[in-house]
A and B are shown apart, each in its own frame.
Chain A
Amino acid sequence: SAVISQKPSRDICQRGTSLTIQCQVDSQVTMMFWYRQQPGQSLTLIATANQGSEATYESGFVIDKFPISRPNLTFSTLTVSNMSPEDSSIYLCSARYNNEQFFGPGTRLTVL
């Protein structure tokens, strides 16, 4: 299996600021994903992050708002830019490894 860690685990941020979330996988993986889980709702895929190429964003998500980096096969970052209270959510990193999907513990973001 693959173990995924995220930093920070939670944060409280001011409106208009940006937060970068880090995701570390203990194995090399080709495909990494970022999800958002808004309060009381299910997981929504933000983007797919493949090493060596630009992230692929889902409908409703744009690079300017959620820039993603994928510098190597074990690491990715998601930045939530110019935050507003509507961005308060849990952000989960995920990776595909040996044909299975693994998820990180999530980053709980509160925007005031």
Chain B
Amino acid sequence: AQSVTQLGSHVSVSEGALVLLRCNYSSSVPPYLFWYVQYPNQGLQLLLKYTSAATLVKGINGFEAEFKKSETSFHLTKPSAHMSDAAEYFCASYNFNKFYFGSGTKLNVKP
């Protein structure tokens, strides 16, 4: 069975600090992996995706994620948080025409 686990339902960082949102996947076959962001009252917006090319993936708004097969992880990072990054972030895996979403991590950015 496939699943995606996001460690930490809430993460709080100060503006300018490093953002690290954790995601681990379980799958018998290495899946495609995604990070989505959801702002209040909006749909999901794709941040970045891993599709078995480069293991370090750069996305929009300065975010990047690294696929580590040995750790079955796809953590999302950003060197310096901005107030506008406050949102909910979802990690997702895609395999066999289905998406599997993590439970989401709400990022709070303190001034």
Contacts and interface: CB of A to CB of B under 8 A. Distances in A.
Partners in one complex: yes
Interface residues of B, number: 18
A41 to B, nearest CB: 6
User: What size tier do the contact residues of chain A reach?
Assistant: 10 to 19
Contact of B99 (A4, A41, A101, A108): A101
A101 B46 contact: yes
B41 interface: yes
Contact of A42 (B43, B49, B94, B101): B101
A43 B46 contact: no
Interface of A: 4, 31, 33, 41-45, 48, 92, 94, 100-106, 108
Interface of B: 34, 36, 41-46, 49, 90, 94, 97-99, 101-104
26 contacts: A31-B97, A41-B104, A42-B101, A42-B102, A42-B103, A43-B44, A43-B90, A43-B99, A44-B101, A45-B98, A45-B99, A94-B99, A100-B46, A100-B49, A101-B46, A101-B94, A101-B99, A102-B46, A103-B43, A103-B44, A103-B45, A105-B41, A105-B42, A106-B41, A106-B43, A108-B41
